[in-house]
């Protein structure tokens, strides 16, 4: 089943999906599968698998000089997606990104995914490298998500990146994109950012998943503005429960979203991480109940550092 089929067939029942990270290089899949086991019992609609570009690290040599090495800390997105789909028979949505990838790299990734029978993709630009002050395209790669979308659409239509014809085109991919109720950090304003989302829709994006947020009014306002602009694709809310005291300052800085004053006031009263986690469960449960009450049929959970919280919230909701 594709994500769009899942969205269309939903008959008003509450649904959810979630996102996981591939294991760190050198680690096995046991911890990842334990995470999925905890949530699979609630019948998720799909599972997203993130992709991470290579990073540079510096190793000191015996002569005192430093050698710069490329390291990919979380490889294996395609293989992990295939393993999850085979093990759980749940639709998987691997992230395909511009960052750190050439056009040729992406093309081979699309071929591998197609051979594995994976139909759903999440197309993203990806984060800038840590050593860069702004996003720098990989030589021979894409600068924008819209460029990546165009490559996937050409691939779907039977044409390789070099213009040659695919003799035996496989099943076409369906794909979603990211959206930002509080705007992307690099966008000059929300209106311009939403124009980019509309452009992605016009190029073929079939749904969007939002960056995490804690104020439902910002999501509702975002969707209303999107509809006024002619953005008609489903916009799935992305949610991540607070799980630690430190997230009061880390989350706004990392994800560029505001913490509502009502939530912030309660977090500062917490003395331990466990108190903050319980508060996060209560806040997110109420947040999701309101979203469902407004006709939202699927909520997407970001599970990193919050798996047990998401399990508890899902028990309360479904």
* SS3 sequence of 105-118: HHHHHHHHHHHCCC
**271-302 per-position pLDDT tens digit:** 999 999 999 999 999 999 999 999 999 999 99
DSSP 8-state code for residue 251: H
**Cα(2)–Cα(8) distance, rounded to whole angstroms?**
10
Note the pLDDT of residue 169: 92
Helices (H), 166-260: 190-203, 216-228, 247-255
**Mean pLDDT in the chain?**
92
> In which element (H, E) is residue 35 found?
helix 30-40
pLDDT at residue 131, rounded to an integer = 61
**pLDDT for 52 beyond 90:** no
- Residue scoring higher pLDDT (1 or 65): 1
Total residues belonging to the chain: 318
pLDDT at residue 97 in the model: 95
> Residues 111-117: contacts with CB within 8 Å, 24+ apart?
112/78, 113/78, 113/81, 113/173, 114/170, 114/171, 114/173, 115/170, 116/78, 116/81, 116/82, 116/85, 117/85, 117/171
Residue 136 is predicted with a pLDDT of 82
Reported as a pLDDT band with limits 50, 70 and 90, residue 12 is: confident
Nearest to 150 by CA among 81, 199, 209, 95: 199
Residues 180-188: contacts with CB within 8 Å, 24+ apart?
180/210, 180/211, 180/256, 181/210, 181/211, 181/213, 181/218, 181/219, 181/221, 181/222, 181/257, 182/211, 182/213, 182/218, 182/256, 182/257, 182/258, 183/256, 184/211, 184/256, 185/256, 186/134, 186/135
Measured CA to CA, the distance from residue 258 to residue 14 in angstroms comes to 26
Whole-structure pTM value: 0.92
Report residue 134's pLDDT band, with 50, 70 and 90 as the boundaries: confident
Given a cut of 70, whether residue 132 has pLDDT beyond it is: no
């Amino acid at each position: 089943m594709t994500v769009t089929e899942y969205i269309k067939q939903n008959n008003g029942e509450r649904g959810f999906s979630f996102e996981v990270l591939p294991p760190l290089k050198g680690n096995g899949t046991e911890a990842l599968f334990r995470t999925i086991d905890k949530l699979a019992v609630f019948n998720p609609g799909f599972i997203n698998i993130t992709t991470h570009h290579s990073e540079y690290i510096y190793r000191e040599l015996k002569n005192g000089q430093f050698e710069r090495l490329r390291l990919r800390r979380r490889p294996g997105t395609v293989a992990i997606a295939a393993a999850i789909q085979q093990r759980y028979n749940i639709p998987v949505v691997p992230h395909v990104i511009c960052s750190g990838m050439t056009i040729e790299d992406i093309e081979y990734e699309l071929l591998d995914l197609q051979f594995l029978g994976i139909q759903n993709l999440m197309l993203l630009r990806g984060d800038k490298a840590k050593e860069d002050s702004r996003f720098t395209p990989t030589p021979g790669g894409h600068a924008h998500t819209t460029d990546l979308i165009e490559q996937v659409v050409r691939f779907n239509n039977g044409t390789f990146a070099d213009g040659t014809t695919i003799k035996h085109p496989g099943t076409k991919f369906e794909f979603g994109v990211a959206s930002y109720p509080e705007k992307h950090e690099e966008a000059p304003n929300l209106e311009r950012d939403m124009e980019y989302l509309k452009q992605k829709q016009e190029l073929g994006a079939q749904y969007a998943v939002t960056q995490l947020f804690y104020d439902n009014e910002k999501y509702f306002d975002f969707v209303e503005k999107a509809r006024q602009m002619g953005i008609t694709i489903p916009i799935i809310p992305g949610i991540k429960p607070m799980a630690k005291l430190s997230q009061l300052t880390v989350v706004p800085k990392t994800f560029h979203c505001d913490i509502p004053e009502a939530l912030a006031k309660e977090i500062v009263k917490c003395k331990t991480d466990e108190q903050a986690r319980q508060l996060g469960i209560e806040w997110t449960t109420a947040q999701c109940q309101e979203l469902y009450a407004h006709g939202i049929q699927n909520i997407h959970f970001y599970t990193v550092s919050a798996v047990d919280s998401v399990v508890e919230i899902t028990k309360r909701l479904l």
